[in-house]
Structure 1
Amino acid sequence: MKRRHLLTVAAAAAVATIPALAAASLPRVEVFKNPDCGCCGAWVDHLEAAGFPVKVTEVPDTGAVRKRWSIPDEFGSCHTGVVAGYAIEGHVPAEDIKRLLARKPDAVGLSVPGMPVGSPGMEVGSRKDPYQVLLIDKAGRSSVFATYPKT
């Protein structure tokens, strides 16, 4: 009886640590945002719900952050994240950041230009405008990394 109880407790403890291990394996995202922007906070919540640890730094000029991370202005949005040496511009879904980190392309990072309704942090009811996640290469060119809504 004691052995069965010990096995049950050990199994429960192992299962309870799985989410913590998964979160620990994801690198921290540092988010640079304007202090007055509410949608940026909702995007941070989205990242945290996906298991990313996040550090938020409020800055008066997000354009300067984009410039520091070599993100051309045409790919700009309201906040910039930095993770594992990649820039993440705008409302990029966490699943695409995870895919970027797994693939490790030679690139600047990802961008969702503008603020498309329905992207993470920009939810408005059931409305979901189409948008693309762009991979920005080191020459400042883009290619489509993902398209939403997925069909």
Structure 2
Amino acid sequence: MQASSRSRLALVPFVALMFTVLLSLSVHAESNNTEASRGLQMSVYKTPTCGCCQKWVDYMAANGFTNKVIELDNLNPLKTQKGIAGRYRSCHTGVITTTHGEYVFEGHVPAEYVKQFLENPPAGAIGLSVPGMPVGSPGMEVGERKDYYQVLLLNDDGTDTIFAHVNAP
């Protein structure tokens, strides 16, 4: 066998390896593009009569979320099913399913914190909550008034930690 034939044969495993690597990168990039092009899709559960909930839905849409609104007369069974304790509840519940799991966003959570949470969901977290209806939160705007409130990280063991302070004095 000539030297040039042997050197070409020696390249076959290298070329096969490079082909495999490039193919896997292509498949990975395509799956990421598919997930990214999907956008941030959220199911929002609210009562039919709540105006501030619709304002929050509109605010989230303006911030890149595609919302599917589901109107229910009684949200409590859903909130219980999703693990949202009474002290964390508000007037609506957003649910987003990702490759990491399903997460809840209870109440008037600002879009920036939803996105921040979704970038790297903490282990054991079920989502975020803004309990009650703080004035100045998205959907609860009243003139220039902006009350201080906290965005809480909800854990699957029923505890919470502060995720963010909003409008801190």
TM-score range, shorter chain: 0.7 to 0.9
From 153, 156, 160, the equivalent of 1:138 is 156
Matched pairs, number: 130
CA distance in 2, matches of 1:40, 1:63: 16
Deviation at 1:113, TM superposition (A): 0.1
TM-score by length of 2: 0.74
Look at both structures and tell me which one has the larger radius of gyration over its CA atoms: 2
In structure 1, runs of 5+ residues without a counterpart are 1-20
TM-score by length of 1: 0.82
**Partner residue, 2:25:** none
Give the number of the structure with larger relative contact order, counting CA–CA contacts within 8 Å between residues 6 or more apart. 1
Matched, 1:120 2:133: no
**Partner residue, 2:69:** 56
Q: Which runs of 4+ in 1 moved over 2 A?
A: 23-27
**Partner residue, 2:85:** 72
Alignment of 1:23-38 (within 5 A): 24-38=37-51
Deviation at 1:74, TM superposition (A): 0.5
Q: Percent identity?
A: 49
CA distance in 2, matches of 1:112, 1:63: 16
Structure 1 residues 78-127: Cα deviation after superposition (integer angstroms, max 9, x where no partner): 00000121011000000000001001212111000000000000000000
CA distance in 1, matches of 2:154, 2:38: 25
Give 1:53's aligned amino acid: T
Give 2:45's aligned amino acid: F
| Distance change in 2, residues 1:67/1:148 (3 Å) | same
In structure 2, runs of 5+ residues without a counterpart are 1-33
Give 1:117's aligned amino acid: V
**Partner residue, 1:88:** 105
Deviation at 1:24, TM superposition (A): 3.2
Give 2:117's aligned amino acid: L
> For 2:134, what is the secondary structure of its paired residue?
coil
